[in-house]
């Protein structure tokens, strides 16, 4: 509906409850982020956030950017 009215579309995804970046949170975020990515949002909320969106991790942000690029190609 936002696209119909020319408004930016926001999607929230790629969330995890892990407190440290790594393989397991990466897989969870890839699976949780695929469905919001299929809606082609203009704004994606959640990259780099850990621990239920309470911790910002720059390492996880880099991992999420790569996951975002892979999901965008799918």
Q: In 10 A of CB 46, how many CB atoms?
A: 17
pLDDT digits (tens, 9 = 90+) for 19-38: 888 788 878 888 887 888 88
Measured CA to CA, the distance from residue 1 to residue 7 in angstroms comes to 8
Structure-token match 């696209």, residue found = 3
Let me know if residue 2 belongs to a domain: no
Residue 54 lies in a domain: yes
Q: What mean pLDDT value characterizes the chain? A: 82
Domain holding 50, by residue range, is 10-73
DSSP SS3 for 44: strand
Q: What is the pLDDT of residues 6-17, one digit of tens each?
A: 899 888 877 778
How would residue 55 be classed by pLDDT, with cut points 50, 70 and 90?
A: confident
Read off the pTM. 0.71
pLDDT of residue 31: 82
62: in domain: yes
**Tally of domains in the chain:** 1
Q: What is the pLDDT of residue 74?
A: 66
Within a domain: 5: no
Reading the block at residue 20, the tokens are: 């440290």
Domain membership flag for residue 1: no
């Amino acid at each position: 509906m936002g696209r119909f009215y020319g408004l930016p579309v926001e999607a929230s995804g790629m969330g995890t409850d892990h407190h440290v970046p790594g393989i397991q949170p990466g897989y969870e975020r890839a699976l949780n982020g695929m469905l919001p990515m299929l809606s082609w949002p203009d704004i994606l909320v959640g990259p780099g956030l850990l621990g239920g969106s309470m911790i910002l991790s720059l390492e996880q942000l880099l991992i999420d950017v790569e996951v975002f690029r892979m999901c965008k190609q799918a």
